Amino acid sequence: MINHVDFASINYLAVLVATVLAFGLGSIWYGKPLFGSAWQSEMGLSDEDIQSGNMGMIFGTSFVVAFIAMLFLAVFMGPNATVATGALHGAIIAAAFIATSIATHYLFSQKSMKLFLIDAGYDVVRYALAGAVLGAW
């Protein structure tokens, strides 16, 4: 149990690197060659819909919330994590908390299993990757 968080002991460079890598993974994961076309189709978005979005706000805010998520992943993992425990903690957090939350939202909004697997799969992989990076530091 975390009783006190010492933000001074957080390795912010590691958090930033984990954020950049997790954010970069998203550009690959949701890119057209991998899952981007399937995701776009499942979301019912046209290319015009995507292009009409406020990309600065979308990407900027996504980066900030990814940084916050990676910061608290580092807090949760603590200073003694290793690459292996970090990856495991990240994957467990994503599978047990994030994927189950996504599942609930998608069930009620009647979204497809395919979309769930794309979105939840991304979170499991990105949190495992981020946990490994944080544990390496």
Local structure of 21: helix, strand or coil:
helix
For residue range 87-130, what is the model confidence (pLDDT) as tens digits?
Answer: 999 999 999 999 999 999 999 999 999 999 999 999 999 999 99
Question: Under a CB-based contact definition with an 8 Å cutoff, are residues 133 and 14 in contact?
Answer: yes
Strand, coil or helix: what is 6?
coil
Given this model, what pLDDT does residue 79 score?
Answer: 87
Check pLDDT > 60 for residue 2: no
φ, ψ (nearest 5 deg) of residue 81: -70, 150
How many other CB atoms are found less than 10 A from the CB of residue 112? 13
Q: What is the pLDDT of residues 50-97, one digit of tens each?
A: 999 999 999 999 999 999 999 999 999 988 899 999 999 999 999 999
Q: Give the pair of three-digit tokens for residue 133.
A: 């990076």
